[in-house]
Amino acid sequence: MTDAPTEIIKVDKRIVAFIQSQSVLTIATSANNMPYCATCFYAYSENANALVFKSSPETTHIAQGIENDFVAGSVLPDKLVTGKVKGIQYSGILVRVDAALQDDLQKVYYKKYPFALAMGGELWAIKLNWMKFTDNTLGFGTKVIWGERD
């Protein structure tokens, strides 16, 4: 797996507030010219600037992410409101939660989803390197961009 960027540039507070207030992400992966996407409950670690979720290594999205760790996805509001387009598009690096990140990411994830302690799977993280936040409540077509696309 590719090493994730280590320098964290402060994320706009509007993006952080939105990500922290939602619960489901879509992750898109691709390996051997076969794209795939999945939805997962997630929590956001501001310290690591990462989306953390629980999944099994046998799932297609994790198997593909191990082979090609560059991923993309989206986060939409848990409750959609017609005419008020809001959401995040992101890209990042999929990483298995290791000892360096484990305490922070476990705390963040299991605080939000204590029931997940009883479920199988492992914690995984998407170390974010780019996000585009669209929020029409700030004015039609308003976009806040963080990070750089490679």
All domains of the chain, ordered by start, with CATH?
13-147 (2.30.110.10)
Distance CA(57)–CA(96), nearest Å, equals 10
Highest mean pLDDT among 20-24, 101-105, 118-122: 20-24
Determine the pLDDT at residue 150. 63
24, two tokens? 């489901």
Q: What is the mean pLDDT of residues 120-147?
A: 88
Q: Model-level pTM greater than 0.85?
A: yes
For the segment 137-145, the average pLDDT, to the nearest whole number, is 77
